[in-house]
Amino acid sequence: MKFRAKMIDVGCLNHFTRVVNTISKLTKTCILRLTPNNLYFVLSGKVASGGVGMWCELSQANFFDEYQLEGVAPDANEICLEVTPENLSRALRTSQNAKCVKIKLTKKHCPCLTLVAELPTLSSVSRVVTHDIPVDVIPRRLWHDFKEPSMPDFDVSIYLPPLKTMKNVVDRMKNLSNFLVMEANLNGEMNLKIETDLVSVTTHFKDLGNPPWGDDGSPGRSQSRDPEVMAHTRVDIRKLQQFLMGQQVNPSKAMCNIVHKRIIHLILLHEDVSLQYFIPAVA
Amino acid sequence: MDCVVTGGNVKVLAKAIHSLSRIGDELYLEPQEDGLALRSVNSSRSAYACFLFSPLFFSRYCVYTIPLGHAFRCKMAIKCVQAVFRSLSSLEKTVEKCHIELDGEKSRLTFTLHCKHGLLKTHNLSFQDSESLQAVFDKESCANMLRAQPRLLVDTVLHFPPSLEEVSVSVSGERVWFRNHVDDEAEQSKAMLTELCLSSDEFDHFAVGAQTSITFCLKELRGLLVFAESTGLPVSVYFDEPGSPVVLSVTDSVLEVNFVLATLSDDSNLCNHNNNTKRARSPPPPDDFMTDDIDSYLIAMETSELAGPSDALAPRCPSSNHTLTTQPSVDIHRRRLERGEEEEEEEDTEDTERPPNKKVSFVVKGLAVTYTTVGINVTLTPLPLSLYSCSVPLSLFRVSLSL
């Protein structure tokens, strides 16, 4: 198993750091899958993570100038590691002005992802910072848990309102209730509702637009569905808030698929990164 | 005592006090002929700081000797003094001068801040008489010395998280490495290790003897760096082998600052750093008490010649049995040289099993110590200690306290 990669572009480094920062705000530990073409940060949506699932895909060519991978076996050319994204974030944070950053899989006192940054100095010799981040190698027999999630059979798909606005609304609502209902219809309308014994609050968003899913989605469903009817799901408000808190950059596209009373599937697309987040319904 | 600080120097004084507050809870103030000394030491005696302001720092500096014959010395809670200089940014803008005077009759130290618009802020602080707190150390005899602009050290320290307790500094001929020090065996497999390598080029002065590695507390270093960065003066670092204290100093024509920090002794360095697994580990000492902090601390404090702060931080290797669980709050702050002679008789040198690392082993029996302070005589007999032997690093640092 071998992994070595190198980043020399400052823009790429900043962008990668922001992605890692976002991931570190979403979860304490996650799986990092390395394949010849992509990197994935994965949370499998099991009970341990509170049912929340995450799938973040980066195309390695957009970040790294050099990328060498030798997977576990010739027919399974990938590496699966359990990492703490906060460590990675910390290591990247102070290397923002580095001339070059190398990441490799090493074995020190335990398997580690070693990040080596060469920092510019006034003298001829550069300063070298080395961070050894301990990781756990996930054996092949467990890989099936970390496969790309399939698109759920959603009832409504809608574009999200500006994330900042959503975050402000959700932050205020969190003080009042632990659960939030998200509902949307095919007319581009979305409501965020909370209801307690004392008060109920609803925020209405209009004219959001609905993504035109072609063969990907379930065209039959959406065509025959009454555009006024709302599909709704009740979720733990903290999970939604955590998702919104972590977002540092405005995505090019942000949408949400709702499976009635089952799950909320949030999709954020940036130029070279895609992030999917699944929040299950609570009773 | 009567002195006046004006203009920008008020801020320097304020920063010095804030810097000292990161070391200990009490500020020791001693006006001397050669200047005003502000000192602090931490509770475990493993860190000491001294700011010596020469008379030129002040626009007026008068020191009177009290009829009693010895110079005036006092200590006070540092928080009280910090309260006088609370907001640094407003100090700069509003305070024109600061007048410090001692009112012998009322036993008060008065800080008067003369601010703009004729505003006077007067703080009357009460103090306690104290003995002199002075560390005896010899910078010039240290084998290694580095001098760097504070910016370099600040940038270095930036790579380590604010929560990091201890940092290890290793030097060889051409380079310096800063690493985070991981204390606990259990944490080793999970902790992230960070290492920064600087070349000798980056330093203003780089004089290194043999390859060495020392470990000391980062928090106290940060205290000094904040001060140094604001003054822009270079920081000099003097150190020897592990166990010997490291002296960090910032000097200019009107000010001399020295921070003396204890370093972990060799054993701990070997145990805890993964790089050092390459070196042969010294065989475990025959006695369990060998690595017992408390023991070596107590011994160090009682045999005052060797009362080095490094001993307080000494062997932190997880050891199997600790029968002594008392805190160093057998809190023996001040003592007289009582056992000096006895300790010398009982010393034997160099445990032959160990790699040469300048340790001293001796046997100590239950000791009684007399502790004297102004007007009070207290004799302390420590908890029954059975006969045991332990090893203490030979330290250049001596805390000599005299009345």
What CATH number does the domain containing B107 carry? 3.70.10.10
Q: Do the Cβ atoms of B198 and A87 come within 8 Å?
A: no
Burial of A25 (0-12, 13-18, 19+ CB in 10 A): middle
Nearest-CA distance from B197 to chain A in Å?
A: 5
B176 with B213, same domain: the answer is yes
pLDDT-derived band at A257, boundaries 50, 70, 90? very high
Q: How far is CA A126 from the centre of its chain?
A: 34
Q: Which of residues 143-162 of B touch A (CB under 8 A)?
A: 158-159, 161
- Give the structural domain span for B219: 144-264
A163 with A76, same domain: the answer is no
Counting DSSP H helices and E strands in chain B, the numbers are: 10, 26
pLDDT in tens, B10-49: 999 999 999 999 898 999 998 888 889 999 998 888 899 9
pLDDT in tens, A173-187: 999 999 999 999 999
Identify whether A257 is part of a domain. no
A137 with A160, same domain: the answer is no
pLDDT-derived band at B264, boundaries 50, 70, 90? confident
Look at residue A172 and give its three-state secondary structure.
Answer: helix
Q: Residue B338: is its pLDDT beyond 50?
A: no
A11 with A123, same domain: the answer is yes
Look at residue A24 and give its three-state secondary structure.
Answer: helix
Identify whether B200 is part of a domain. yes
Tell the residue number behind the tokens 């981040």, with chain if given: A133
Nearest-CA distance from B274 to chain A in Å?
A: 7
Identify whether B25 is part of a domain. yes
What CATH number does the domain containing A35 carry? 3.70.10.10
Mutate to test the interface with A, among B149, B154, B158, B194 (most CBs of A within 10 A): B194
Q: Do the Cβ atoms of A131 and B192 come within 8 Å?
A: yes
**Interchain CB contact of B196 with A (< 8 Å):** yes
**Interchain CB contact of B190 with A (< 8 Å):** yes
pLDDT-derived band at B86, boundaries 50, 70, 90? confident
Q: Do the Cβ atoms of A134 and B159 come within 8 Å?
A: no
Q: What are the residues of chain A with a beta carbon less than 8 Å away from any beta carbon of chain B?
A: 87, 90-91, 94, 108-110, 121-125, 127-134
Alpha-carbon span A232 to A182, nearest angstrom? 6
Which of A110, A125, A131 faces B201 most closely, judged by CB atoms?
A125
pLDDT-derived band at A203, boundaries 50, 70, 90? very high
Look at residue B73 and give its three-state secondary structure.
Answer: coil
Nearest-CA distance from B283 to chain A in Å?
A: 21
Q: Kindly state the tokens that stand for A265.
A: 């599937």
Alpha-carbon span A222 to A218, nearest angstrom? 7
Task: Give the count of domains, chain B.
Answer: 2
Average pLDDT of every residue of chain B: 69
pLDDT in tens, B53-64: 999 999 998 887
Q: Do the Cβ atoms of A109 and B188 come within 8 Å?
A: yes
pLDDT-derived band at A223, boundaries 50, 70, 90? low
Q: Do the Cβ atoms of B201 and A131 come within 8 Å?
A: no
* Domain stop point among A95, A125, A145: A145
**Residues forming a β-bridge with B182:** none
Q: Do the Cβ atoms of A94 and B158 come within 8 Å?
A: yes
B113 with B8, same domain: the answer is yes
- Give the structural domain span for A167: 156-251
Nearest-CA distance from A24 to chain B in Å?
A: 15
* Domain stop point among A145, A165, A186: A145
Identify whether B235 is part of a domain. yes
Q: Do the Cβ atoms of A108 and B199 come within 8 Å?
A: no
Q: With beta carbons under 8 A apart, name residues in chain A contacting B179.
A: none
Question: What's the 3-state SS for B316-369?
Answer: CCCCCCCCCCCCCCCCCCCCCCCCHHHHHHHEEECCCCCCCCCEEEEEECCCCE
Alpha-carbon span A262 to A235, nearest angstrom? 9
* Domain stop point among B248, B264, B280: B264
pTM, full prediction: 0.72
* Domain stop point among B201, B234, B264: B264
Nearest-CA distance from A86 to chain B in Å?
A: 10
Interface confidence (ipTM) of the complex = 0.83
Q: Do the Cβ atoms of A108 and B196 come within 8 Å?
A: no
Q: Residue A84: is its pLDDT beyond 70?
A: yes
Identify whether B375 is part of a domain. no
Q: Residue B305: is its pLDDT beyond 70?
A: no
Identify whether A183 is part of a domain. yes
Residue of A nearest to B180 (CA): A131
pLDDT in tens, B193-222: 999 999 988 899 999 988 889 998 888 888
B112 with B151, same domain: the answer is no
Identify whether B399 is part of a domain. no
Task: Give the count of domains, chain A.
Answer: 2
